[in-house]
Structure 1
């Protein structure tokens, strides 16, 4: 657990309290996303919500599958548009502006959802809030990757998985005690609690310094030096850090001397296409392991025949698994790196969903429902190792000048993938549609196995690499499986020595 200068990762965390707090702030977007992704599924289990937005069918209130699909899918499309807009917004106005815009839009979207009385009005609120989710989901990792020191960058980027699960846990904690209530407040309180997160963002935004990388990109070097000081770096460290940022930026500028600007087209050209491809794979990881399916677990289990009390218990246990998984993964990344953890997570996902699929082949057998429910909740364990390190890689492999746009493409792709699943999912598990039950496990088992093959050939190990070193390695077209042991000629403050065994050590 040592950095390139031999210092412990935990010492780096202790010595950079301001940066740690800023990384926590930037990950509020992941918490908002986790909270928002679960409240709809939980609301669908509330009698008052069904009576307000559903229709009476055979003596019971039911929300048609097409409205469920629209609420989920259109929200994801809005998130996709927000993520796409985040790239130009961040490059033109800065990272802090993206936080400001996302918080204001989210507050407005929640207000529309809170006051909605028809499915169409509810959809309008989901659209506005969805755009905000896409915007902040892109701004967060961009900011973290640019302010976090090398030794803690991976942990900070993977922190989004912890915050996503924490958001789910908070949503479940607010909703589950209100499941038996028959008044409108049962679900309105759940939606209103979402105002806390944009409120925190707006309250603390004046204390958040702008990214030094953005300021250097705008040739505001003096301002960048001041921001490095505000980040907690000492006067002796600031010149070295600023020179490294300037050098990385100038090197990329020279390599793109023939290119005009930093349009999205540049992300699909030459070496940057390989980097963009990796970011797309990493952002697809959550959907490959069934994130949309897991988020709909409460409603799925109710449709499968499990009681509401047992469904609530299973949901809280699953979210606790996800939080524990994220914390364990944060430690494991300092030891094992990113690539091996992603492969482990995908392998575990494939096994768990295979068992679920087998159980789904016996729908009339009572223990089979418990097997499906238990293994569905066990998949929360997969989220940490599969998604956390993948998000770290996504935040590290992009070039500095294209980071905002390439990460925007990644989040956009994730939302596009999620849109497809959110349209399909209600038709797969609703009792009045395909009613596949545990057989859905076979779908995600196949996706996990396929992605595992892609990871072997495409996802590099980025642990311990500076942005300048990664630039050099991608320019040299280093094969994926040789990233870990490659010796760079680049020197940024310290020199990298790679002994024969391929292990890294700081000098």
Structure 2
């Protein structure tokens, strides 16, 4: 019999998991969940590989050994070599298209309390390792300079391919495909619980899947656009993902080393290692504060304004005094601040908001659309950037910041005026606030009354504090 019972303090449809007495006082740490963590770590290496590919391939474009084969001589440039704009476009933009293939399985199998630590910094760590490998081989003469880093691309896939034979399939996925016995066996492998607790979690999982299926019953893709409330929620989810692109991050991430090299910085690969390491620090700091502070309407505009300011300063410094050592140091310092602002204030809150804002019934469709549009925007950014920074085209170099600074300001203004604050709200509360047609600035202090006691048929809503 299920240990999941309704509570009087929740809506009738809500349930809460009542764990057996043996769960009381039990430690739930990494040691106890070591099998689950091992499985999560293995699958999350896919994300590490994605970051490694971006970091490593981005550096190849500034590597003399690579340019000797795929580029041409350019005596007037700091490297003495260059790559054509068209070839540069293909290298990075095709990488972005490949990013459309999702490879993380961590979410379905990780314990709820450890979802963040299980998958938080893998991509940033992969990018750092990729830039470190490039930095270690860039001075080698000939093809070995880029062939050695590229050979590292096969290590992680080999580890994952072997490791997959030793971990179970996701219990939730098995349940969704009516394979209950296998789901129980997989859950037993992942969890350090007794049978009573396993059965309680299994029943909770069944109820959650049934509730999810019921919520999405009858939903269709075009429902996202059929009424004003859904259209608003869809537009918000898509636009909040797009602020990652309007911040200018993808040109800095995809072409950072090439950007540093042609700006005349003496050690572009080492500078890229520094910015990649700062990205990891920013993610770690963010993971420590997001649950305690985490205000989307505070962090997102502040991050966008910080990124816009650093982009503008990079452009101004280079315009006033190009090619000098002091300018190079200033550009690196500003790039470090930029990366910290992007990873610490923009990317995490952008994705969280995109997951919170869609309606429960259309969440899969809406988040999928937002993600797809986000990747499309990233592709456009990486595809067009070579036209601006490559010396064979417009040759803007660091002056490219003049384009991105106003886009950051516009994005920050959009967040301030249009993005609702829903931190700490239940999904039902978010639905209620959208149905009440509240302006974005009133979401934070709105007092939800719930469907049972509250929202009357006349459309009355609760008062807003400070109105």
TM-score (norm 2): 0.76
1:473–1:488 Cα contact (<8 Å) kept: no
- Specify the alignment match of 2:64 in structure 1: 47
* Higher relative contact order (Cα pairs below 8 Å, separated by 6+ residues): 1
CA distance 1:58–1:386, change in 2 (3 Å): closer
CA distance 1:321–1:281, change in 2 (3 Å): same
Report Cα offsets for 1:479-504 as digits up to 9, x if no partner: 5445445547489xxxxxxxx999xx
- Specify the alignment match of 2:320 in structure 1: 362
- Specify the alignment match of 1:243 in structure 2: 207
1:380 maps onto 2:339 in alignment: yes
CA distance 1:466–1:39, change in 2 (3 Å): same
How many pairs were matched up? 415
1:51–1:61 Cα contact (<8 Å) kept: yes
- Structure 1: unaligned runs, 5 residues or longer: 6-10, 80-129, 492-499, 503-507
1: distance between equivalents of 2:421 and 2:401?
29
Report Cα offsets for 1:180-215 as digits up to 9, x if no partner: 111322211211211233234333334243262x56
- Specify the alignment match of 1:62 in structure 2: 82
- Specify the alignment match of 2:145 in structure 1: 186
1:350–1:444 Cα contact (<8 Å) kept: yes
- Specify the alignment match of 1:135 in structure 2: 101
1:322 maps onto 2:282 in alignment: no
Superposed counterparts of 1:38-437, under 5 Å: 38-56=55-73, 61-76=81-96, 79=97, 130=98, 133-136=99-102, 139-140=103-104, 143-144=105-106, 146-147=108-109, 155=116, 159-160=119-120, 162-206=121-165, 207-210=167-170, 212=172, 231-232=190-191, 234=197, 235-253=199-217, 256=218, 259=219, 262=220, 264-270=221-227, 271-295=229-253, 296-307=255-266, 310-339=267-296, 340-364=298-322, 366=324, 367-382=326-341, 383-398=343-358, 402-437=362-397
Report Cα offsets for 1:352-388 as digits up to 9, x if no partner: 2232232133144733333223212321102222102
Report Cα offsets for 1:262-309 as digits up to 9, x if no partner: 4x43444445444433332343233222222222121111111122xx
CA distance 1:58–1:348, change in 2 (3 Å): closer
User: By how many angstroms is 1:35 displaced?
Assistant: 1.7
CA distance 1:265–1:451, change in 2 (3 Å): same
2: distance between equivalents of 1:22 and 1:267?
36
User: By how many angstroms is 1:36 displaced?
Assistant: 1.9
Query: Larger deviation: 321-330 or 443-452?
Result: 443-452
More helix by share: 1
1: distance between equivalents of 2:300 and 2:44?
20
CA distance 1:144–1:252, change in 2 (3 Å): same
Larger Rg, first or second structure (1 or 2): 2
Report Cα offsets for 1:415-461 as digits up to 9, x if no partner: 21122222221221222332223322222221211111222244344
TM-score (norm 1): 0.70
CA distance 1:244–1:421, change in 2 (3 Å): closer
CA distance 1:364–1:241, change in 2 (3 Å): closer
User: By how many angstroms is 1:244 displaced?
Assistant: 3.6
SS in 2 for 1:38: helix
Report Cα offsets for 1:371-409 as digits up to 9, x if no partner: 223212321102222102222333444456655544433
- Specify the alignment match of 2:11 in structure 1: none
- Structure 2: unaligned runs, 5 residues or longer: 1-15, 18-26, 453-462
> Aligned-pair RMSD on alpha carbons?
3.6
1: distance between equivalents of 2:163 and 2:433?
38
SS in 2 for 1:336: coil
CA distance 1:433–1:192, change in 2 (3 Å): same
